[in-house]
Structure 1
């Protein structure tokens, strides 16, 4: 079998660099493209702009990769025009250049935020539809780009196959956004403030687990659909590194196992009790991809394969939102005082006021309604589809991931 050669688009970024380094370390042929080279390593780098269609065609024609992994995306907080140009138009350009130059595999780094509209996301799986109105321009354009990628999938002989990976809350060594933001809160003496009651569960995902998911997707993109009998096998919970995992991944949610029928009263009660902390050994309400699915009603074949599909990827260890930053703060030697708690409704009002003030003063708002929603909403995802179709299991637990990240941070502080 001929080994794949890889082009990591956005390879100077946080996730892209980790993917490129992992491929390089295991001996694969890998190239990196980005606007600028930020890492000094042995991986061949090429500068390219996603908005330059001709440059993309020339680059892919020259390198002839068999697999393109598209991780490039602007950071949060930029304009609608930038997101449209890079996330949507740039992805369309890259798809066209890849297809024209006989790329066989196209893996897109999407986002769990593609289904986020500002409301709670409680253990949602891939049946969750795109929202009518996304929370912001970033998530809207990531969803639009994901649709382009999945619609470009072609299972015909010799055609290009595609899939999308939807990570939630990526963190790890090299992260300059999540960790930097949490450190800034300490520097600004703001760790005493808490928005919401901290009962909302949230998924964070260690970067090496996200890398693992991308490489599994590349490996299995041409696999046949998995056998529906896999749903009769109990693969158990994700092994946690926390003392008490708050939510197992094979669990109930308040939709039925088959979206074409109504949810029964017993199923609603089951989901309600679960959300109150009552864990059943065999929940009445379950996702379509867990071990309790009715094997007499298997999934359609198109949902049981990698190509043409999106996959939520998390650590499988959702925790209460404020527990994560406090673990980070504790790791750098800062113990926050007893929190001053603001309700999410008051926080939303204050966020709106801060946005108005920032607009009048010509500054960027540091405290926004989006951040209030982010801190006070439930946002955790079911990864059973990834576990059963991709064969994904988290390789680094949450506590270990936090420690690895802090070790990296401390080493960079010492060097600087």
Structure 2
């Protein structure tokens, strides 16, 4: 069964080359839906026969309009700047997350696409403050309080998407129906962004410390639960469901909050690594992240190194923030299935990612340290000269 009454409808997934977009497309394809994956980069994973891939840039309205021919629903999963050094490329983040979303909405209106499901984030309401069992009545975090441009632009994009609900489509096609799914951190077998980065830290010996209060709680969402929520949301934008999700945001997670580091313990130990026991204060780690961001800002034009952590990542992993999924259960019929990191560790282990199967590669990390230290030495040696020249 497709996502609506028609088993032959066509949907388009922006960011379809990414881990989640690809997974969503495969699931919809299995349900008999015609799927188009739209992305600027080709999928790393194989595209099953019957799924169409269009290479295009969300910053181009004409490219989007060409791809949206005969499409009835769009899943907008494309974004940029979620983590690591990408998080520090402010201009590109703005172009893709904000301008790209505006382009997509205009393309939907021009091409008569009636539904748009937007993949949002917890970060639209969270910026480092503690939140216990929050719900959708929480206001957006003021834009100037976001510690990173990704969160700020995702918040703007969500506002744009929800404001576009009930926009009149051209050529008498009716109105555009939109909703936003605020996702927790995604995990699952073969996840391509966060887990390989953690593995890299394990291999290079950088994952040696914990931080923050061990009682701090956060949430995660398994990729298949997030896929389920998107399919249900698309259905909830149809007349059969009385457009119950139209104009609405929803928090999506596995449900039960857990300490960030305890969540990853089965993954770390499952790959054969020793779990850290030394715990650092949160303010110290945040300060280090702050200094690292400034160093990256200064030297990235000549050396774009990967920061160990950014300030936002420190907040997201070290400060309590979790949300109720009752609204998604009530409106969408969302019931997350049970998953854990044991099964994910087994997947990575079976694909050669383990302490026994892989050699530790310290060289790139050592060069990062040496380059940053050299840069600091140059700056420190230059400062006295500037001071003496002033007087």
State the TM-score, normalized to the length of structure 2. 0.80
Aligned to 2:376: none
Residues 412 and 128 of structure 1: CA distance in aligned 2, closer, same or farther (over 3 Å): same
Q: In 2, are the aligned partners of 1:116 and 1:135 still within 8 Å (CA)?
A: no
| Pairing 1:367-386 to 2, within 5 Å after superposition | 367-386=309-328
Q: In 2, are the aligned partners of 1:224 and 1:305 still within 8 Å (CA)?
A: no
Equivalent position to 1:150, from 162, 165, 175: 162
Q: Distance in 1 between matches of 2:295 and 2:90?
A: 21
Q: Distance in 2 between matches of 1:34 and 1:111?
A: 20
Q: In 2, are the aligned partners of 1:8 and 1:20 still within 8 Å (CA)?
A: yes
Indicate whether 1:388 and 2:326 are aligned.
no
| Structure with more relative contact order (C-alpha pairs < 8 Å, separation 6 or more) | 1
Equivalent position to 2:254, from 296, 315, 322: 315
Q: In 2, are the aligned partners of 1:11 and 1:72 still within 8 Å (CA)?
A: yes
Q: Distance in 2 between matches of 1:357 and 1:134?
A: 20
Corresponding residue SS for 2:207: coil
Deviation of the 1:374 alpha carbon? 2.4
| Pairing 1:319-398 to 2, within 5 Å after superposition | 319-337=258-276, 339-362=277-300, 363-364=304-305, 365-395=307-337, 397-398=338-339
Kindly provide the CA deviation profile for residues 182-207 of structure 1, in whole angstroms up to 9, marking residues without a partner as x: 21221232333111122110101100
Residues 356 and 98 of structure 1: CA distance in aligned 2, closer, same or farther (over 3 Å): closer
Corresponding residue SS for 2:179: strand
Aligned to 1:53: 61
Deviation of the 1:178 alpha carbon? 1.6
Aligned to 1:263: none
Indicate whether 1:86 and 2:86 are aligned.
no
Indicate whether 1:96 and 2:106 are aligned.
yes
Kindly provide the CA deviation profile for residues 160-185 of structure 1, in whole angstroms up to 9, marking residues without a partner as x: 11111111011112312221122122
Q: Distance in 1 between matches of 2:299 and 2:95?
A: 28
Deviation of the 1:45 alpha carbon? 0.9
Unaligned runs of 5+ in 1: 227-303
Kindly provide the CA deviation profile for residues 108-143 of structure 1, in whole angstroms up to 9, marking residues without a partner as x: 111111111121122111111111122210011111
Kindly provide the CA deviation profile for residues 195-223 of structure 1, in whole angstroms up to 9, marking residues without a partner as x: 11221101011000000000001112125
Q: In 1, are the aligned partners of 2:270 and 2:346 still within 8 Å (CA)?
A: no
Aligned to 1:282: none
Deviation of the 1:84 alpha carbon? 1.1
Aligned to 2:140: 130
Deviation of the 1:40 alpha carbon? 2.6
Equivalent position to 2:15, from 10, 15, 18: 10
RMSD in angstroms over aligned alpha carbons?
A: 2.2
> Which range is displaced more, 353-362 or 10-19?
353-362
| Structure with the bigger percentage of helix | 2
Unaligned runs of 5+ in 2: 359-391
Indicate whether 1:211 and 2:227 are aligned.
yes
Aligned to 2:71: 65
